[in-house]
Amino acid sequence: MGMESDVMEFFINDVAVKRDSGGVYTVLESVYKSASANNGADSYTFLLGDVAFNDNHNVKVIKNVAMQKSYLRRIFFDWFSGAAIISKSKPDVYISMQNTAQIGLKKIPQFTYLHQPLPFQRTKKFSIFKKKERKMAFYQYVVGALIKGSLKFSNTKVIVQSQWLKNELVVRGLAKPNDIFVSFPKVKKISQIYQEQIVETEKVVFFFSEYCYGI
């Protein structure tokens, strides 16, 4: 395999992202453009949903819209079938860009890009019984449990966007400090008008990367 030379083969999974996903789509697009601009012998396989990316000289795009539409299929892939499918491609490195690590991938080094902080914050407990909080509660408890479980039961290194999240992973025993890498996102400056709106609403605001959750 490529680990024996300078040639590398990467398998990148981001089937969850959509064209209207905001910041996470921007990150994926940046990775795709960087891979496409690589004039070396490295090759990249992207497993995506309905994102309009195409094959080129060193990039292969596999689309699975059905898995994007079904969270159960994604869970089955992450926990059961995915390892065998990924291993058939014989990549040197596997990268999950959608928060969850791949269970059962033992011989292939993997990295998980964790950009969902909601399950790890301790400030607010969302209620499934409140309509306005139901979606946030789903991400905090259900998705959060899947993320934590996948990190705990896989051999993955983790990429996060803040030192705070790295500390949370260490405290919770989900990853060792040396296996967590902090990559600070590029955040656009908030306009003065928006700053005033935040102050005037007196809401608790979780600001993370390009997302702003108001409670």
Rounded Cα–Cα distance for residues 51 and 84 (Å): 24
Q: Residues 78-131: pLDDT tens digits?
A: 999 999 999 999 999 999 999 999 999 989 999 999 999 999 999 999 999 999
pLDDT value of residue 195:
47
Half-sphere exposure (Cβ direction) of 181: Cα atoms closer than 13 Å: 10
pLDDT value of residue 52:
87
Element (H, E) at 180: strand 180-182
Residues of the chain with pLDDT under 50: 1-4, 190-198, 200-201, 205-215
Neighbouring residues of 116: CB distance < 8 A, sequence distance ≥ 6:
99, 139, 143, 147
pLDDT value of residue 138:
95
CATH number of the domain at 2-188, out of 3.40.50.2000, 1.10.1370.40, 3.40.190.10, 3.40.50.300?
Answer: 3.40.50.2000
Element (H, E) at 89: helix 82-89
Arithmetic mean of pLDDT over the chain? 86
pTM of the predicted model as reported, rounded to 2 decimal places: 0.83
Under a CB-based contact definition with an 8 Å cutoff, are residues 189 and 210 in contact? no
Rounded Cα–Cα distance for residues 189 and 138 (Å): 30
Under a CB-based contact definition with an 8 Å cutoff, are residues 180 and 169 in contact? yes
pLDDT value of residue 215:
32
pLDDT value of residue 204:
52
Q: Where are the domains of the chain?
A: 2-188
Under DSSP, is residue 179 helix (H, G, I), strand (E, B) or coil? helix
